[in-house]
Structure 1
Amino acid sequence: MTSSIIKRVLRVSMCVTVFGLSALSAGAQTQDAGVKGKTFAYITPGLDLPFWRHIAKGVETGIGKAGGTVLTLDSRNDASAQLKNAQDAISKGVAGIVLSPTDSSTAPSVLALAKRAHVPVVIADIGTNGGDYASFISSDNEKGAYETGKKVAEVLKAKGWASGGYGMITVSLARKNGQLRSAGFRQAMKEAGVQELGLNQLQRYTSEESFKYTQDMITAHPGMRCLFVQVDVATLGSAKAIQAARKGDDLVLAGFDGVEDYIPMLNDGRLIAFGMQQPNLMGEKAAAALVDAVNGKTPAKSIVVPVIVITKDNLQENMAVVKQTVSF
C-alpha cells in the first residue's frame, strides 16, 4: 500500500472515530448529569386503578429519559402504608419523590418526613392540605368537570329531562380533586337548572362499590335522569347497574378519567361524555419538575394539565391526543 493511500485510510478512520464519539456525546446529552444513575420513588394511592398506573408510566418515562430509575410503591389507599412507603424510600437513599397521596390530609406527614431528610417532593394529583413541596402537578379538575357538566346539560335539555335531577358518585371529598370535580359539575347543573338529588363518596374505588351506590340511588330517586361518576373503574360499575335496572333509555351517565372501555360505551350510548385527564403527561411533567428540583432549580409551584371533554361527536378527532397521553 502506498503512503498516500495509507494517509487517506487513516484520515477516513479518524473521521469515523470522531463522528462516532460525537454521536455518543449527543446521546449522553439527553440524560442529566445530576440525575444519571440515581433512584427516585413514585408513591401511589393504588395501582389497582389504571389512572395511577398511567401516571407511574409517565414518571418512569420522564426520569428514565434523564438517566435515573424509579421505584414505584403502592400505598393501597392506606395512610399508614403511604407513610411506611415514604420511610422505606428515604432509607434507600432516593434522590426525590413523586407523591400521589391517599388523600389531601395525609400528604403533610410525608412532606414533613421528606423535608427532614432533605428529599425534594413533587405532588402529582389529589393535592395536599399543607407542607413543603417543589411542585404540584394537577388536572384542571374544576373546569374539566364543569365542561363535562355543560355537555350533559345540553343532552338533558334536548331530551326534555332537565327537571329529572342528577346524582354524583365522587372521589372522597377529603381529596382536593374530589372537591373540585364536584364543584365544577355542580355549577354546570345549577346553571342549567338541574337539581342535585344525591351524592355518594367512593372509599374503595371499585366497580362493585359504585354498582351498589348506583343501585341505591336509582331506588331512592327513580326519576333521576343523570349520574356523574368521577373515577373510571367506578363509572364501569355504574354503567352495569344502570343496565341491570333497565334504565339505559331513561338515565344518562357521564364519567371522568379515561379507560379503553369508555370508547365502545360512548359509541353505543351507555356513556354520554367524560372528562379525560392526561395521566401519562402528568407523570412526565412531575418527573421533569423533580429533575429540576434535584438540580437546584425552581420548578413552577403549580402546573395544570388540561382536561379534554370527550363525546361521541369529537372522539375521533381527539384519538391522537388520547393515544399519546393516556396510552390506551
Structure 2
Amino acid sequence: MAKHMLQSAGKLLCKAARAGAGFGAVVVVSTLYTHAAIAADKPTVAYIAPAIDYPYWQWVAYGVKQRAAELGMNYVELSSDNSPAKQMDNIHTALTRGATAIVMGPVSSSSTPPVLRLLKSKSIPVAFTGIGPQTGETDYTSAVTANNYDTGKLEASYVCKLAKDRGGNKVAMLSLPQDRENAQKYLKGANEAFKKDGCDLVQILEAHDLSVNEAVTEANDILTANPDVKAIYAMFDNAGIGAAKALQTRGLVGKVGVVAADGSPSTIKLVRDGVIQGVFVQGAMGQGIDATTQVFNALNHKPTTQVLSFTEVLVTGDTVDRPDVQAAVKRVYPPSVGKY
C-alpha cells in the first residue's frame, strides 16, 4: 500500500511541476511524497488469524499491533474464517499489500506446508502463534505457543484430583480440533497423566466451531451419557464456559469439577466465583508481542528463536491474586477487555 502511495505521490509531484503549479501546491504534493516514502521504507507485518471473531485471536492481534507500533512497523490484519483456501488467499493479499513479515495463527497445522513453501520462495519471515506448523516443517522463523504437552499433563493431573476429591475417577474431555498440533500435544500429555494418576477418560468430544453454545451441547451430552463423570477437562476457554453453563443448568456446580485452558475475563470470573476450579492461562497477547519481535529480528538479521513454548500457569480461587499469577493473566488479554 505504501508503495502505491509513493508512486501516486510521485506522479502528482511531476504533474504539478509540469503544469506550473504554485509554490503552495507543490509543497503539499511534495509533503505527501515524503510521507509516502517514509511509509514505504517501514517494514510491514501482516497478522493472519484463523478467525478474528474468536477473542483469543483478537488478543493475539492486539499484541502484534502494539509491538509493531513500538518497533516502527506498519500493520495489516486479515482473517481466514477457518478456511485453508482463504488463509492462502490472505497470504497473497498480505504480500500484495507490502507485507515483509507474517505473524499467523494457522487454521490447522496441516494447512501450513503450502504457506511455508510460498513464504520461503519470497524470503518472508513467518512466526506462528498459538498453533504451530505441521510436524516436520522447519522453514519458519518462530513458533510461539504454550508448552501444550506439559500443560496437558498438568491439567489432566489437576482434573483427576478434582474427580477423586468428588468420589470417583471418571473424567471427560471437551477437545480442540485434533488436526491442530497443539491439541494433539494436549491430548498426548493428558492421556499419560490420566493413566499415571489412575483416572478413566470415558469420553472425548471434539469441537468444530469452538463456540460456547457448541460446548454447552457437548457438555450436556457427556453428562447425560456418563452420569458418573466427576470432572471435565476443557481444552480451551469456551469449552470451560460451556461446561460451566451446563453444570449451572443441571445444579451440578461443585459436584463435577471443571478446568479450562487459555483464559479470559469470563473464565477468571468463573474461577473467582467457584463455578470452575481452575484455568491454565495461555498468554495470547504475549504471544503476539513475542512473535512480532521474532520476525522483526529476522528482518534485521538479529538472532531468533524457532521454538518459544511456555507452560501455562494454573489460576485457582486460592492463587488468582498472587503477583506471579496476575502477571501471567495480564499477558492473556488487554485491560480494556475486562478485569483480571
TM-score band (shorter)? 0.7 to 0.9
Alignment-derived partner of residue 305 in structure 1: 310
| Cα distance change on mapping 1:323 and 1:105 into 2, 3 Å | same
Amino acid at match of 1:148: E
Q: Please tell me whether residue 269 in structure 1 is matched to residue 278 in structure 2.
A: no
Contact 1:36 1:68 in 2 (8 A): no
Alignment of 1:109-188 (within 5 A): 109-129=114-134, 130=137, 132-162=139-169, 165-188=170-193
Alignment-derived partner of residue 295 in structure 2: 290
Aligned residues: 294
RCO comparison, higher one (Cα < 8 Å, 6+): 1
Instruction: Supply the distance in 1 between the matched residues of 2:202 and 2:133 (Cα, whole angstroms).
Output: 29
Instruction: Supply the distance in 2 between the matched residues of 1:111 and 1:217 (Cα, whole angstroms).
Output: 39
Contact 1:144 1:309 in 2 (8 A): no
Amino acid at match of 2:87: Q
Alignment-derived partner of residue 15 in structure 1: none
Shift of 1:67: 0.3
Alignment of 1:155-234 (within 5 A): 155-162=162-169, 165-234=170-239
Instruction: Supply the distance in 1 between the matched residues of 2:41 and 2:291 (Cα, whole angstroms).
Output: 17
Amino acid at match of 1:132: D
Where do 5+ consecutive residues of structure 2 fail to align? 1-37
Alignment-derived partner of residue 80 in structure 2: 75
Q: What percent identity do the matched residue pairs reach?
A: 26
TM-score (norm 1): 0.84
Alignment-derived partner of residue 46 in structure 1: 51
TM-score (norm 2): 0.82
Instruction: Supply the distance in 1 between the matched residues of 2:48 and 2:311 (Cα, whole angstroms).
Output: 23
| Cα distance change on mapping 1:319 and 1:286 into 2, 3 Å | same
| Cα distance change on mapping 1:153 and 1:91 into 2, 3 Å | same
Contact 2:162 2:231 in 1 (8 A): no
Amino acid at match of 1:206: S
Instruction: Supply the distance in 1 between the matched residues of 2:289 and 2:42 (Cα, whole angstroms).
Output: 18
- Of residues 58, 67, 79 in structure 1, which corresponds to 2:63? 58
Alignment-derived partner of residue 281 in structure 1: 286
Q: CA offsets per residue over residues 59-90 of structure 1, 9 Å max, x none?
A: 11222111012111111111111111111001
**C-alpha RMSD of matched pairs (Å):** 2.0
Shift of 1:131: 5.4
